[in-house]
Structure 1
Amino acid sequence: MFVHKIDEDLSLKLMELKDADWIFKLTNESREYLREWLPWLDFTIKPEDTVEFIKMCLKGFSENKSLNTVILFKGEIVGVAGFNNINWSNKTAYIGYWLGEGFQGNGIMTKVAKALTEYAFIELGLNKVEIRAAVENKKSRSIPERLGFKNEGCIRQAEWLYDHYVDHVVYGILANEWE
């Protein structure tokens, strides 16, 4: 079982099927808040949808293609973060994350993104970590900016978000730039 302790209050744990009800509950409680920037909320309408998502994540983990975790803050699931994809050929990991609305503003996601980046470089021996966020998603963009990631450009109309396209800013950091 993958568990990565960040500090006394914060850790990452590989998703398990038994986490489905908690993840779904958190998703449901933050649905309107998360819907602004995440395209999958309308497809996550019952706990079974979260079970299927976890199964997909566990398959990716078993195939060494991804690492998706729950974020535990003081023992409670408060969000999801991890490597949505690991490209071993190019030695690049792609971080994705979301945090329940009630847990915003505590520095949780910055610590999580930092821990994932360090894990990618130190434990996995990767060369690059990328984080993508919608241009207008200031909260999400502030995380890689705070951690010293470089703005590598904009992908126009990168994602369909319910009824419109959004552009994405691509942030990246190389192993030799990480301190």
Structure 2
Amino acid sequence: MFVHKIDEELSLKLIDLRDRERIFELSNHSREYLREWLPWLDTTTKVGDTAEYIKMCLKGFAENNSLTTVILFKGNIVGVASFNSINWSNNTAYIGYWLGEEYQGNGIMTRVARALTDYAFSELKLNKVEIRAAVENKKSRSIPERLGFVNEGCIRRAEWLYDHYVDHVIYGMLADEWNK
């Protein structure tokens, strides 16, 4: 099983079906907060929906084209972070993440994104890591900006969020930039 210790209070663990109730509880408790930027909240209404999501994540891991982890903060699941996809032909990973509302403001996601980026370059030997965030999602955008990712541009109407489109900013980091 994949477990990656980040520091004394934070680690990443491969998502597992045994995590389904806690992940559902966490997303359900933060539903309105998360719904502003995540498109899947309205279709995740019961633990079984979360279980199906986890099965999809485990299939992606088994096929070596994604890695979805739960974020453990002081031993408790507080969110999810992943390589939503890994493009091996281009040696690029795409990071995605969400955190329960009550855990915001502790620097958790910056440390997680840093650890995933390190892992992509040092362990997976990838060339590039991308993070995409809605233009107006300032909290999410601050993470790649804090880590020195380059703003590579904007994709207009990149995502449908319930009743409107949002534009995405693409941030990129190259292995040789990260290692400097």
TM-score, normalised on structure 1?
A: 1.00
- Equivalent residue, structure 1, for 2:67: 67
CA deviation profile, 1:88-119 (whole Å, cap 9, x unmatched):
00000000000000000000000000000000
Q: Is 1:145 aligned with 2:138?
A: no
Distance 2:24 2:141 in 1: 25
Q: Is 1:23 aligned with 2:6?
A: no
- Equivalent residue, structure 1, for 2:167: 167
CA deviation profile, 1:112-152 (whole Å, cap 9, x unmatched):
00000000000000000000000000000000000000000
How does 1:6-155 map onto structure 2 within 5 Å? 6-155=6-155
Which amino acid letter does the alignment assign opposite residue 70 of structure 2?
A: V
Give 5+ residue unaligned stretches, structure 2.
Answer: none
Which amino acid letter does the alignment assign opposite residue 6 of structure 1?
A: I
Q: How far 1:82 moved relative to its partner?
A: 1.0
Give the number of equivalent residue pairs. 179
Q: How far 1:49 moved relative to its partner?
A: 0.2
Distance 1:24 1:87 in 2: 28
* Same amino acid, percent of matched pairs: 80
- Secondary structure of 2:159's counterpart equals strand
Distance 2:157 2:82 in 1: 24
Distance 2:166 2:24 in 1: 25
What is the Cα-based RMSD across aligned positions, in Å? 0.3
Distance 2:52 2:71 in 1: 19
TM-score, normalised on structure 2?
A: 0.99
- Equivalent residue, structure 2, for 1:2: 2
Which amino acid letter does the alignment assign opposite residue 169 of structure 1?
A: V
- Secondary structure of 2:23's counterpart equals helix
- Secondary structure of 1:113's counterpart equals helix
Which amino acid letter does the alignment assign opposite residue 45 of structure 2?
A: I
Which amino acid letter does the alignment assign opposite residue 145 of structure 1?
A: E
Distance 1:149 1:109 in 2: 15
Distance 1:107 1:82 in 2: 17
Distance 1:66 1:129 in 2: 13
- Secondary structure of 1:98's counterpart equals strand
